[in-house]
Amino acid sequence: MLDLRIDNAVLPDGRSAMTLGVQDGRFVALGAGLDLPAHQRVDAQGMLLSPPFVDPHFHMDATLSYGLPRVNQSGTLLEGIALWGELKPELTQDAIMERALRYCDWAVAKGLLAIRTHVDVCDPRLLAVEALLEVKKRVAPYLELQLVAFPQDGLLRGARGPDQHLETLKRALGMGVDVVGGIPHFERSMEEGARSVRLLCTLAAERGLRVDMHCDESDDPLSRHVETLAFETQRLGLQGRVTGSHLTSMHSMDNYYVSKLLPLMAEAGLHAVANPLINITLQGRHDTYPKRRGMTRVPELLAAGVNVAFGQDCVRDPWYSLGSADMLEVAHMGLHVAQMTSQAAMRQCFDAVTVNAARVLGLQQYGLEPGCHADFVLLQARDPVEALRLRATRLRVYRRGRLVAQTPAAVSRLDLPGRPSSTDWMG
């Protein structure tokens, strides 16, 4: 007998009236109208059943710290970095953990069950690393947390020399951090940025790790670090294990150069992560009008065969005062900024916070097919486009077949002459 059976579900690919069977935390059956005995049954009532949301780019060590020690008055990237530098000496492990755990609660409630978070390794105390490793352990029963060793101040810009931050980054990897990160555009020169990419990719190859590089996060049309990242990926045989995050300079690059760059990225098997909410907020700050919005070329990357995902990046921290762990909000903004408003393109945006993001993290047994982990979200929507339009309520969230969160359906009661008694904004 099954542990759980879900009936009358719609799947993201359009299949309807589907039944899914769960046994021992995995899907074991999928089909239309299956009649299988189960201890527990859930009627999806024609609503959308999706694999869980995945955030491929976040900064959990800074989350929910908005206003500490002061507010970012300009709202700019550079003031946010400076503000983080002011906050770091005041950080404690307990405070980082408390904020991170609270954010993980928000995430689960929104059906977000896997997060890749960058953690600053430029503090020699590695307080944030220790704190998030403990958080990773605590949330493991209900949320997958992947940590990136991120030299926020620049790998080669240590006050005691170019090896200072490299050594702390190696220490973080030795403590159990999963992924090698970097920020080449924040090094002192283009040459030093390229050197940092080579050093970090070599380190990842030696240790058998993935790479996720903050890359070309500027409005500079001449920034070229993603080209170096693609080259090093191929040179070291890292295809499929390397991600270029942000890539905002591609918004401003010459079209001819981009026509060369896109096939290089596809050939190297790079993943790309855009962060719509933050990219359009922080970029273009030196412009008057026309004002650039800074998000990378998502439709063009997808057309070239590059796997593209959307990340949240920041929630109530020195860089961004808003956010709520809602990946549908991220995708909703992404489709507007990228002008991806065809039916097919909007579904691509839904994929950018589910299956594409799962590929970035290298998640195993992710999905709705038999053999996959029974991690899923029942949404108050009948298809992915409606889910994006409504930022749909997460009616039920399951991890390994166990209900971990539920929210009442969004319904407004009406008292209008000659009109229905309620509305749910659907259809």
Residue 361 contacts by C-beta under 8 Å, 6 or more apart in sequence? 54, 56, 114, 116, 144, 146
Phi, psi angles (nearest 5°) of residue 140: -50, -35
Residue 51 contacts by C-beta under 8 Å, 6 or more apart in sequence? 12, 354, 355, 358, 366, 367, 368, 372, 375, 376, 377
Using the Cα atoms of residue 313, residue 315, residue 316 and residue 317 in order, give the sign of their dihedral: negative
For residue 119, which of 186, 61, 187, 201 has the smallest C-alpha distance? 61
Task: State the Cα–Cα distance between residues 97 and 177, nearest whole angstrom.
Answer: 16
Query: How many CA atoms lie less than 13 Å away from 379 in the CB half-sphere?
Result: 30
* Residue 376 contacts residue 360 (beta carbons within 8 Å): no
Strand ranges for 233-391 from DSSP E: 242-246, 271-274, 307-310, 376-379
Token pair belonging to 262: 């896109």
Known catalytic residue at 217: yes
Token pair belonging to 77: 């990237």
- Written as one letter, the residue type at 376 is F
Task: State the Cα–Cα distance between residues 197 and 226, nearest whole angstrom.
Answer: 9
Q: Which residue has the tokens 């500079």?
A: 220
From 217, 227, 329, 386, the catalytic residue: 217
Task: State the Cα–Cα distance between residues 16 and 9, nearest whole angstrom.
Answer: 6
Phi, psi angles (nearest 5°) of residue 390: -95, -5
* Bridge partners, residue 271, by sequence: 243, 307
Task: State the Cα–Cα distance between residues 14 and 425, nearest whole angstrom.
Answer: 20
**Which positions are catalytic?**
217
